[in-house]
Structure 1
Amino acid sequence: MFTPLRLPQRLLGCAALGLFIGSVQAATPVPAPATLQPLLVTLNERLNIGDLVALTKWDSGKPIQDSAREAQVIANAKTLAADRKLDPQDVGQLLAAQMEANKLVQYGLLAKWRAAGKAPDTPRPDLANQIRPRLDELQNRLLQQYADFLPYRNDPHCANWLGKARVNLTKDRLHELALIRATGELCTS
């Protein structure tokens, strides 16, 4: 037979056990979808091409900002988005974020090289004939990987997945910040 004193103690014990079990379940991280890592690798690869673009801008003295080219790339991406049944506006924002991140890398590197008085002595690929075709290929891959990741954009864990998946993916702080910018449009929650 329960005494009135024991009943609340048992209820408190059950409640505490329930809270403990609930907190253990809540603390168990939800794994990131398998589609996230390939997407981040592609975004990072695109950012690393920014190093090559920066070298061509250093050599040519051309400005980093190329609004006409950016508008052309975004328009092309929106057309491809419609073909893949993706929202053209979302794809336009995603590509705009990639270009902003890429420019962040370029501005950072050019500032570093100006301070040093020289750029690295590495081979310079041709912007129009070598770099842009690589960017176009990466854009196609990026759109497919974005489509694969699309069902997870609204997941409440999306931002945490991104934070963890970006760790150790980049080669330095500049590229890390650029990758944060590049992934800024991936999660909507």
Structure 2
Amino acid sequence: MFHCLRLPQLLTCALFGLLAGGAQAATPSPAPDTLQPLLSTISERLDLADLVALTKWDSGKPIQDTTREAQVIANARKQAAERKLDPDEAADLVAAQIEANKLVQYGLLAQWQAARKAPDMPRPDLNQIRPKLDELQNRLLQQYADFQPYRVDPECPVWLAQQRSSLIRDALHGQALIRATGELCITDQEG
């Protein structure tokens, strides 16, 4: 039996352990094809937060719109049944999108308030943006249903981190994207 008592033997044991462990480690499985479209839709929805923030800047309306948020979440629950999704999970997913969107809006408004101006660019009316948000929610729930079987895969957090990183364009939107995707993977299952 080989004992690891002296420094040279300790180093040899450590090296042997690393090599043996590396040989046994499985090659990570590739991300499912359903993840990237889902993340792209989430990112596209976050991009609309910039336009919503501009409309809130112009109108002076608060970012928090509890009535509208409740309607959007209730609609997600109804759409979940059509896709054989758990209504509570669909509601949680959509609530995360709303919170991430508000994170971007609050961040942008704070930047613009500090600068005492918003970007000089055309902005649609909020009523023109909402149909696009509704269409994105429909697509989001379908893509979420397609991704559903992979949520419990042990590799899910790794896939998510790798594919999400390519969509991050700045710190604010990056944090919002992390918030929007925070519950996509189920890593702690109690049985």
Q: TM-score range by the shorter chain?
A: 0.7 to 0.9
Any stretches of 5+ residues in structure 2 without a counterpart? Answer: 3-14
What is the count of residue pairs matched by the alignment? 175
Once residues 18 and 120 of structure 1 are traced to their aligned partners in structure 2, the CA distance between those partners, rounded to angstroms, is: 57
Distance 1:21 1:33, change over 3 A: farther
**Where does residue 106 of structure 2 map in the other structure?**
107
Residues 1:45 and 2:56 are matched in the alignment = no
Structure 1 position 180, deviation (Å): 0.1
Once residues 84 and 29 of structure 1 are traced to their aligned partners in structure 2, the CA distance between those partners, rounded to angstroms, is: 29
Structure of larger gyration radius: 1
Which of 130, 139, 142 pairs up with 1:141?
Answer: 139
- CA deviation string 1:121-148 (max 9, x = no partner): 11111111x2000001101110110001
Any stretches of 5+ residues in structure 1 without a counterpart? Answer: 1-7, 10-15
Structure 1 position 28, deviation (Å): 2.2
> After superposition, where does 1:161-180 map in structure 2 within 5 Å?
161-180=159-178
* Backbone CA RMSD of aligned residues: 1.8
Once residues 66 and 24 of structure 1 are traced to their aligned partners in structure 2, the CA distance between those partners, rounded to angstroms, is: 54
Once residues 26 and 112 of structure 1 are traced to their aligned partners in structure 2, the CA distance between those partners, rounded to angstroms, is: 46
Give the TM-score taking structure 2 as reference length: 0.86
- CA deviation string 1:53-82 (max 9, x = no partner): 000000000000000000000000100001
Q: Secondary structure at the match of 2:165?
A: coil
Once residues 19 and 117 of structure 1 are traced to their aligned partners in structure 2, the CA distance between those partners, rounded to angstroms, is: 56
Give the TM-score taking structure 1 as reference length: 0.87
